[in-house]
């Protein structure tokens, strides 16, 4: 199979084909996230603090904003994956018949069963992504089948702890401020002063309400902005790095690779290849 990077955007969010051959730092996404193995070695992700297998018959399912990471064992072969980052509005419409939609607690388990039918759809997604003339409309249809098939056939013994909620108005205000400033560096002192909390109490309460540290949340926001600048913008990667507050392109590239498994240059090239076919 082709193992090059492929990235497609659409009303569904984005879908990426990448190869995992090094660790990914603990991170999160503002999207419901689904990971499918399409080649290479069996592996696993850590979702919250539990190992979730990634195999031919088991997908990894991650609710919006749920921290997760990939631990690469030295000497193991790479794992090729299809990763879905699903737009909340699209998913809410798609799953309307399944009951009330909550992206913070959508998946009922962190592992999803990949049935034979689901696997066939997954291979169709892979073929579409690597085809001569990939169509966003075709991809949207295939992803709707893949998502529903996985959700409806999923079963797992892995139990999750209950999700924290953004219940403290001060933390909701801090979250909004971080999102509006694209995770800009050196905002914490300003936020703490604005909401009237001590720094230590702010860090404790932020973790209690969101399930992650303020620094990790900043990286979530910064990563999504980095992906937008990499895939959609025509400006240079050096300019994107500067806009995001990185001291140099090497620092930006390391941050990007540690979160997505590939460099921003390869990620941009993977999206560009699809757009120009």
Query: pLDDT tens digits for 119-164?
Result: 999 999 999 999 877 788 999 999 999 999 998 876 444 444 455 5
CA atoms within 13 A on the CB side of 180: 7
The predicted structure's pLDDT at residue 226: 93
> What local confidence, expressed as pLDDT, does residue 159 receive?
47
pLDDT on residue 275: 53
Give me the residues of the chain with pLDDT under 50, please. 1-2, 155-161, 276-277
Beta bridge partners of 52: 45
Helix or strand holding residue 83 (H, E): strand 79-86
Nearest one of 160, 140, 24 to 87, comparing CA atoms? 140
In this prediction the pTM is 0.87
pLDDT score recorded for residue 1: 43
């Amino acid at each position: 199979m082709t193992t090059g990077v492929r990235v497609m955007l659409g009303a569904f969010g984005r879908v990426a084909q990448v190869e995992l051959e090094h660790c990914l730092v603990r991170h999160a996404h503002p999207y419901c996230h689904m990971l499918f193995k399409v080649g290479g070695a069996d592996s696993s992700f850590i979702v919250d603090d539990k190992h979730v297998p990634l195999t031919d018959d088991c997908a990894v399912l991650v609710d919006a904003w749920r921290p997760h990471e990939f631990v690469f064992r030295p000497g193991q072969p790479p794992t090729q994956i299809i990763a879905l980052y699903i737009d909340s509005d699209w998913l809410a419409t798609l799953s309307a018949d399944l009951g009330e939609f909550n992206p913070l607690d959508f998946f009922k388990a962190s592992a999803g069963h990949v049935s034979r039918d689901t696997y066939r759809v997954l291979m169709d997604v892979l073929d579409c992504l690597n085809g001569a003339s990939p169509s966003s409309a075709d991809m949207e249809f295939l992803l709707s089948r893949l998502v529903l098939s996985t959700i409806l056939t999923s079963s797992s013994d892995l139990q999750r702890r209950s999700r924290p909620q953004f219940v403290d108005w001060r933390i909701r205000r801090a979250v909004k401020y971080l999102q509006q400033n694209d995770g800009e560096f050196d905002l914490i002192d300003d936020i703490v002063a604005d909401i009237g909390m001590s720094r230590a109490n702010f860090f404790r309460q932020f973790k209690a309400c969101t399930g992650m540290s303020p620094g990790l949340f900043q990286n979530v926001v910064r990563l999504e902005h980095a992906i937008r600048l990499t895939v959609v913008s025509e400006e240079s990667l050096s300019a994107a790095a500067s806009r995001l507050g990185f001291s140099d392109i090497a620092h930006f590239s390391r941050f990007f690779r540690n979160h997505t498994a590939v460099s921003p240059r390869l990620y941009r090239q993977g999206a560009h290849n699809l757009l120009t076919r």
